[in-house]
Amino acid sequence: MKCRFCGTNLPDDARFCSGCGREVEREDVSAKEKNNNETEDAYYREIDDKEYEEIKKKKKEEERQREEAAKEEAERKLLEEKYAREEAERKRREEQRIMEESRRRYEEEQRRWKEFVKKQEESEAKKLYRGYDAGSGTAASESTKKRQEAKPQKKKKSSMPFLLYLFIVLAGGFALYKCGFPEMLIDSIHKSSSVSDSKKNTSSKGGKDKKDVDKKTTDNTTSDKAGEKKEAEHMLEDTENSHMSVENCLSTDAYNTVISEDGSFSFGYPKYLFNHSEMNASGNSYSLTYKEGSEEKKAELAVYTEENEGNALENAKQLYDRFSSQVNKIYFKMQPTRTDSEGMARTLIGASVDSSETTGVYIIAANDGEKNYILKFTYPDPDMKDDYNAIDYVVDCVYRYCSFSGGTYRPRTYQQFLKDDMGKKK
């Protein structure tokens, strides 16, 4: 036997533990054996009918509650599945609507882009149809072009007869030169001129003066007509307005686009702002102005290139220094800090021309390592501090139409401009 407290082995008849000194507790073996000898029927008892009915009712109630709980759980799951299906259907319809909207927007952008390309092609076709000849500086009339188109193309003839004829003429001329024919011809010309001079001296002095005056008048008239013709040839479309109308320029349809003769740059200009324009013979310098009588120019758009080889970024910095020193007060500037993926560096300047601050100027100057590309737009501005005037929208369009401005957005509407909506990417 062991002590229950300290575990010391003790003899069966010990009353106290030798280890801890406590009294040894002994089990009542007789009671334990008596409990083990009880039959299984001792755990059951007899109940009456009333108690039995209550137990049955209680079990039925519990069963009913379990069934209702299971039914409610099943209904809840059905509702959840229904809501899940409806949510999935709603999401599917929303995705379908978004896809349809995206497709519609894509088609609208494609349509607008095709219209823009079509307008560009029509503009180019008009320029070609006018028949500007950069080599001779003359313009063929429409009737002449129609006659040329109506004529059937002649078959190309061999150049051998022409070369043979040219050789014969040169050989004959050389032979005459060796025979002294030029000296004989010069003597005869001198003789005839002396005879004509003697006849002229016998004529009246008044008649001679009258002829000279008439000749000079005719020459001056001819030169004036030639100058007017040459000036008309260099005029751009929609630049003969009787007055300046900024309000009519508040739409992207109110702008024409121009592509340089060599295709190195393009720009856009408002149709209702200028009354004079010209470009040089090589087609790389354009000037559009508005002027009333002998007054100073109220508006001017100058776009041109300059030869300037070297480092594009350094050249652009020089352009910034050059133009920033020509203005009065700068309201906006973007100094050149890097070269873009096309190898071009640029600067942008928005400023007032003089201290009156009633005339603004917007300058775009860029360099690609070979040329300077410059756009300078001078315009009347009623309030230089207000960036949402009608003329400010015109400046925004000029910037977005310019190919070397570095802009990444297409021209936007006037409503988008007022809301600071950048519009669509190019």
Give the tens place of pLDDT for each residue, 263-310. 999 999 999 999 999 999 888 999 999 998 878 889 999 999 999 999
CA 96, 99, 100, 101 dihedral sign is positive
Enumerate the H helices of 130-204 as residue ranges: 142-150, 160-178, 181-202
Give the tens place of pLDDT for each residue, 7-30. 788 887 777 777 787 777 765 555
Q: Report the distance separating Cα 313 and Cα 305, nearest Å.
A: 17
Instruction: Enter the pTM of the model.
Output: 0.48
- Write down the mean pLDDT value for the chain: 80
Q: Report the distance separating Cα 183 and Cα 169, nearest Å.
A: 19
Phi, psi angle pair for 376, to nearest 5°? -130, 115
Q: Judge whether residue 207 has pLDDT over 60.
A: no
Q: Which CATH superfamily is domain 247-418 in?
A: Mog1/PsbP, alpha/beta/alpha sandwich (3.40.1000.10)
Task: Please give the pLDDT value at position 134.
Answer: 46
Task: Please give the pLDDT value at position 318.
Answer: 97
